[in-house]
Structure 1
Amino acid sequence: MAYVPGIALLAVLVAGCTGGSGTEDATTDAKPGTPTVSVAPPGKYQTLPEACRSVSVNTLKQLLPGVADLPEDQRERAYEGRASVTYDTDRKVGCTWQARTSESTRTLVVDFERVVSYDPSVSDEDSAATVYGKKAEAAGLPSPSVTSSSPADPSADPADPSAGALSDPAASDGAGVAPQGSTSPTTTASPTPDGGDDGGDGASDELAPRVLNNIGNAAFLDDSLESGGSSAQRRTVSVVFRTSNVVVTVRYAEQAADADGVPESAELQEKAQSLAHGLDESINE
């Protein structure tokens, strides 16, 4: 065998590898008509507000009767609330406030969950719709079908850096409870689900658990009365709504001090809905 210098051998190998038209090879290997997989858009919101600042002091005064009468140091602590334990404040945050009077104990809990999809073909918003749907199903209420993603606000400017962050509702008093005599957010009464709770004290259909309108992309209200036998009864009104890729839960509860007392639905529902409506507005400001 003839000896081929190393440089000459390298040239031969390179010529062999590059011979022919690269364009022709690529065209041959390509498969016309193969569908391309598009990546779903990210969620509208990339951060969450500080949960314990999401409700204004003026609103807390209306929701937590009795706190205003406490000594100043106790009053301040009560209005500050207690933050929920969380390991990622960009994904889930919450806060709890509580007030006791001689008549009852009232508790308010607000939770924010920013849903992130780990499937590139499924948008964050569609994943949030699934999370919301499971919560509605657990409450015995119909959940909307998941549709393809669309911007929650078609007029939003994608180049606006503030578009990816939830505004801090504490900067205004938007997350407030409607004053006495005002009109509460519009609701749509749905028939009480089979086996569902009508409010526990003969509540009408207007107060039964139902889907709500004009709060977020989708919302529902649940109303449950827990009776502990000889212990005081506790009513919890929950309003859950979704706005784009964020799911918000408001739980407003009252436990009567008297074992014979039964917390009424109407006031709790009105205030919980009004708070949820204010939170939705402040998030989308």
Structure 2
Amino acid sequence: MQRKAYVPGVVALLAALLAGCTGGSEEGGSTDNSNPGRPGTSTAAAQPGKYTTLPEACGVVSRSTLDSLLPGIKQLTDETQRTTAYAGEATLTYDTDRKVGCRWKVESTNATDHLLVDFERVVSYDNAVSDDSQAETLFAQQVTAADLPVPVPSTTATPSGSATTAATATTTSPSPSSSASPSASLSASPSASSTLTPADLQPRLLDDLGDEAFVDDALSSSGSTAKQRTVTVAFRTSNVIVTIEYEEQPATVGVVPDSKEMQDKARKLAAQLADSLAG
């Protein structure tokens, strides 16, 4: 008696099983379980930052600005030395798409001035975190490291010695002669340097520069040499963080670099850099 062949039936059954296993992919769904709450779908990647490149750091500061921050440049009589001073020196970096910087150092008859400009383009490697959010986190860490005084209402003395409430005066419109930013409307809490730096020039957050910004102001405490002042202005715009460090050490012991003048110059440069990034 001849046996019946059942092979075609087995083949058909296997084909049906295989079709059931691969049916999900034929409909274009995802099976990577990237979003457990929605089977067959994937999580959308976070938005990339606005900036994909960085400027050439040593060429972003104009000569007129360098003349203002580094007055010793104009005192250089040798043309080669002056050209070198304007050119600056690029900081060491291993990825110019992510981080660039430039520094200048010039001596004059009155002081030695240093300037550092640093650009960092932040890129998030987490699909759930945008470049801007990552930059915001890193900038918050920079603010924390600066250890800015906590702004609080305070009572200050008038030139005649009578007391006046700073909170009342600073919450109203500033006088035309005031150079403090709106963010400095509340004076900083007392600190060791408060006797050397007016309250409205204390380290503080700024609200008129980029997405967020701050200014720091530190005076060296060494008594054996001329005091060096370092003013730092840092700001974030989208996924780029810019840091400016401006230092001055007078040639004469006992001379203290002017806080307001240095802050004004550093903040003016920061505003120019912010405008150049904005295009």
Query: Which interval holds the TM-score relative to the shorter structure?
Result: 0.7 to 0.9
RMSD: 3.4
Asked if the contact 1:185–1:214 (Cα under 8 Å) also holds between the matched residues in 2, the reply is: no
Among residues 244, 248, 264, which one is paired with 1:270 in the alignment?
Answer: 264
2:123 pairs with 1:128: no
Q: Which moved more, 1:210-219 or 1:186-195?
A: 186-195
Among residues 90, 97, 101, which one is paired with 2:97 in the alignment?
Answer: 90
Asked if the contact 1:197–1:209 (Cα under 8 Å) also holds between the matched residues in 2, the reply is: no
Asked if the contact 1:98–1:106 (Cα under 8 Å) also holds between the matched residues in 2, the reply is: yes
What's the offset of the Cα at 1:228?
2.6
Q: CA 1:223/1:142 → structure 2, altered by over 3 Å: closer, same or farther?
A: closer
Aligned equivalents of 2:205, 2:277: Cα separation in 1: 21
Deviations 1:205-262 (A, max 9, x none): 1111111122100011000001333122110000010000000001111011122221
Aligned equivalents of 1:222, 1:134: Cα separation in 2: 14
2:257 pairs with 1:224: no
What's the offset of the Cα at 1:98?
1.3
Among residues 201, 208, 216, which one is paired with 2:202 in the alignment?
Answer: 208
Q: CA 1:142/1:114 → structure 2, altered by over 3 Å: closer, same or farther?
A: farther
Asked if the contact 2:72–2:109 (Cα under 8 Å) also holds between the matched residues in 1, the reply is: no
Instruction: State the partner residue of 2:163.
Output: none
Among residues 253, 270, 273, which one is paired with 1:279 in the alignment?
Answer: 273
Tell me the SS of whatever aligns to 1:188.
helix
Larger CA Rg, structure 1 vs 2: 2
Instruction: State the partner residue of 2:68.
Output: 62
Structure 2 matches for 1:10-25, cutoff 5 A? 13-18=14-19, 22=23
Paired residues in the alignment total: 242
2:196 pairs with 1:192: no
Q: CA 1:50/1:183 → structure 2, altered by over 3 Å: closer, same or farther?
A: farther
Q: CA 1:195/1:134 → structure 2, altered by over 3 Å: closer, same or farther?
A: farther
Aligned equivalents of 2:21, 2:245: Cα separation in 1: 70
Given residue 220 of structure 1, which amino acid in structure 2 is its aligned partner? F
Higher normalized contact order (CA 8 Å, seq sep 6+, divided by chain length) = 1
What's the offset of the Cα at 1:16?
4.3
Per the normalisation by structure 2, the TM-score is 0.76
Asked if the contact 2:149–2:203 (Cα under 8 Å) also holds between the matched residues in 1, the reply is: no
What's the offset of the Cα at 1:61?
1.0
Instruction: State the partner residue of 2:50.
Output: 44
Aligned equivalents of 1:102, 1:19: Cα separation in 2: 85
Per the normalisation by structure 1, the TM-score is 0.74
Aligned equivalents of 1:210, 1:265: Cα separation in 2: 13
2:24 pairs with 1:34: no
Aligned equivalents of 1:272, 1:74: Cα separation in 2: 24
Gaps of 5+ in 2: 151-176
Tell me the SS of whatever aligns to 2:183.
coil
Given residue 235 of structure 2, which amino acid in structure 1 is its aligned partner? F
Aligned equivalents of 1:236, 1:3: Cα separation in 2: 96
